[in-house]
Structure 1
Amino acid sequence: MPIDRPRKAAPKPDQTSSTVRESSADKALARLRSEFTGHRIWRSVRGDGLLGDWVASLHDPAAGVDPTVIRSEPGQLREALLTEATRATPKNVETR
């Protein structure tokens, strides 16, 4: 009696490059999380189920001003979070 077993499909070129992109995105996410510990950093999920924008939610008021920062690329999010850190830094104000 023959046994039908599912066969693994060979990855399509699209899938291979998608896996490389995911690995790169995972590394970028890990770097952002380690650099900006005052934020919860994650990827949004688009309507089609794929990963979308890069999102940072503020957890430490010393780390930023805006409660949520959203950008399309990890580099853009990093720049925005650096700006947030600058905005959150108290300015030296002289009082009389």
Structure 2
Amino acid sequence: MIFRQGGGAPATGALEALPDSPGTHPDDQDLARLRADFDGYRIWRAVRRDGLLGEWVATLHNPRAGVDPTVMCPTADTLRAALVEEAERARRGRDRDRTPVSE
């Protein structure tokens, strides 16, 4: 739903739904799925200089979930693939850390 400032005195800061709002943004479902599947990250859409949505961004909050602190991709699908690879890299690193060193 799209909201705008309005309704009453400007000082109130009240929000009202636009009557012709189209509903949720098409990317909302993709964002929700990514966030549910990769809960070790904060995931959002960057905003370009012109105000339009840009890259899909994931910032690492749980070091067990990945390696790179920030991952940016042009689409939800490419971000998903990159985060799957990040999880694999993190797993390989943990496995390597558990491997006994031979003397």
TM-score range, shorter chain: 0.7 to 0.9
Name the residue aligned to 1:81: 83
Aligned mates of 1:24, 1:38 — CA distance in 2: 24
Aligned mates of 1:23, 1:32 — CA distance in 2: 15
Deviation at 1:26, TM superposition (A): 0.6
**Is 1:91–2:95 an aligned residue pair?**
yes
1:35-74 correspondence to structure 2 within 5 Å = 35-74=37-76
Post-superposition CA distance 1:29-54 (Å, at most 9, x none): 00000000000000100011011100
TM-score (norm 2): 0.69
Larger RCO, structure (CA 8 Å, separation 6 or more): 1
TM-score (norm 1): 0.74
Q: Gaps (5+ residues) in structure 2? A: 1-19
Answer 1 or 2: which has greater helix percent.
1
Aligned mates of 1:30, 1:50 — CA distance in 2: 20
Aligned mates of 1:50, 1:95 — CA distance in 2: 51
The alignment of Structure 1 onto Structure 2 pairs a total of residues equal to 79
Aligned mates of 1:76, 1:24 — CA distance in 2: 17
